[in-house]
């Protein structure tokens, strides 16, 4: 019995070694979770959702492999932690990126790559850190606006087309380091007169030099599963709802709450509106983070639906 068990264990190790050798033989090598990998992962998830006509969201990139770049082109093999129709699913995606940053999803399949037993978890990969450094940035952030303008200029020059910048639809930034910033922007643009959207990855160094590391034409301003879309932290309708929320909650609790700052704001609706707002307040001498939901009907009647302590997913 012991010998059979030993044979079985050796067989499992043989399969793992064989797979690793096969991947290495095909030229794949472990890659850091850089801007190109992040863009490839975002594209893979969006493309698969479109092909399968279902909801696919990315939780995190578990690990990534990349072939030797050729003339600016890259090939990615990604292990992704996703939700497919609200069910957590680990998948392996193969994505190619040509020298003009055009991406193509070559393969998508369920996988055990994210499980500890398969050696796929973050803990099992030395030095691996999930890419959680992107943080929400207000749509009116001056740095993001300047980055968007430069991204459009650089993309126009690179592709020899006329790209016009309309507005930022969504903005994120990595943690700052020595005065540098790395933006992931969803932009409303017009390319040769045709209106559309594009996702841009652009970095700026401490000397204000800009570098465009990725550009994907296509819809990027997807709404959340519950229909909310991001609005500016200075949106007039949202601020009116926020004032109402603080006033109403303070009155209900017979306790003063003073607004700190707005962290994130979302809305949905047209005539009747619903706002979901993440903000800080001074409460009992301390600062708390709150998520409040306020509705406003077509007659401007407002209602505080919920008020809860939360990190708002940030």
Residue pLDDT, tens place only, 166-203:
988 888 887 666 778 889 898 999 999 999 888 898 98
Domain-located, residue 101: yes
Domain-located, residue 112: yes
* The pLDDT of residue 246: 94
* The pLDDT of residue 314: 61
* The pLDDT of residue 307: 94
Of the candidates 122, 67, 115, 72, the one whose C-alpha atom is nearest the C-alpha of residue 90 is 115
Cβ-based neighbour number of residue 274 at 10 Å: 18
* The pLDDT of residue 262: 92
Domain co-membership, 93 together with 39: yes
Domain-located, residue 100: yes
pLDDT tens digits, 262-282: 999 988 887 688 999 999 999
The confidence band for 27, taking pLDDT boundaries of 50, 70 and 90, is low
Domain co-membership, 200 together with 257: no
The confidence band for 2, taking pLDDT boundaries of 50, 70 and 90, is very low
Check whether 294 has a pLDDT greater than 90: yes
Domain co-membership, 198 together with 146: yes
- Write the CATH number for 208: 3.10.450.10
Domain co-membership, 242 together with 292: yes
Domain co-membership, 188 together with 243: no
Which of 162, 195, 217 is the last residue in one of the domains? 217
pLDDT tens digits, 205-219: 888 899 998 888 887
Q: Based on the structure, what is the number of domains in the chain? A: 3
Domain-located, residue 25: no
Arithmetic mean of pLDDT, 46-59: 86
pTM for the predicted model, two decimal places: 0.45
Arithmetic mean of pLDDT, 272-299: 89
Instruction: Give the DSSP letter of residue 9.
Output: H
Averaged pLDDT of the chain: 79
Which of 91, 124, 157 is the last residue in one of the domains? 124
Domain co-membership, 205 together with 236: no
Domain co-membership, 48 together with 111: yes
Domain-located, residue 5: no
* The pLDDT of residue 178: 72
* The pLDDT of residue 69: 63
Domain co-membership, 251 together with 298: yes
Domain extent, residue 64, equals: 31-124
Is residue 272 within 8 A of residue 294, CB to CB? The reply is no
Distance CA 217, CA 299 (A): 39
Which of 124, 150, 181 is the last residue in one of the domains? 124
> Dihedrals φ, ψ of 251, to 5°?
-70, -40
Domain co-membership, 46 together with 88: yes
Domain co-membership, 102 together with 140: no
* The pLDDT of residue 306: 94
Arithmetic mean of pLDDT, 239-247: 92
pLDDT tens digits, 98-150: 777 788 887 787 777 776 434 443 333 332 333 446 778 888 888 899 999 99
Q: Which residue carries 């109403």 as its tokens?
A: 248
Distance CA 184, CA 174 (A): 8
């Amino acid at each position: 019995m012991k010998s059979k068990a030993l044979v079985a264990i050796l067989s499992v190790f043989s399969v793992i070694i064989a797979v690793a050798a096969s991947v290495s033989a095909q030229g794949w090598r472990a890659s850091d979770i850089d801007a190109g990998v992040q863009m490839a992962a975002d594209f893979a998830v969006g493309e698969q959702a479109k092909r399968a006509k279902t909801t696919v969201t990315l939780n995190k990139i578990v690990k990534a492999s990349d072939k030797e770049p050729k003339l600016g082109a890259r090939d990615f093999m990604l292990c992704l932690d996703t939700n497919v129709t609200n069910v957590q699913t680990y998948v392996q995606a193969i994505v190619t990126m040509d020298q003009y940053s055009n991406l193509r999803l070559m393969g998508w399949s369920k996988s055990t790559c994210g499980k500890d037993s398969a050696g796929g978890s973050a803990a099992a990969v030395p030095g691996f850190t999930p890419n959680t450094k992107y943080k929400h940035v207000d749509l009116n952030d001056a740095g993001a606006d300047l980055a968007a303008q430069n991204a459009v200029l650089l993309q126009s020059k690179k592709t020899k087309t006329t790209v016009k910048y309309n507005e930022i639809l969504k903005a994120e930034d990595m943690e700052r380091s020595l005065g540098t910033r790395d933006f992931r922007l969803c932009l409303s643009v017009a390319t040769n007169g045709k209106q559309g959207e594009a996702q841009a990855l652009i970095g700026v160094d401490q000397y204000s030099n800009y570098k465009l590391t990725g550009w994907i034409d296509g819809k990027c301003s997807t709404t959340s599963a519950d229909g909310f879309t991001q609005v500016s932290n200075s949106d007039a309708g949202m601020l009116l709802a926020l004032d109402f929320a603080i006033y109403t909650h303070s009155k209900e609790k017979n306790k003063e709450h003073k607004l700190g700052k707005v962290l994130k704001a979302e809305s949905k609706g047209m005539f009747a509106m619903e706002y979901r707002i993440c903000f800080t307040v001074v409460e009992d001498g301390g600062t708390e983070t709150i998520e409040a939901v306020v509705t406003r009907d077509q007659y401007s009647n407002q209602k505080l639906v919920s008020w809860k302590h939360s990190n708002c997913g940030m």
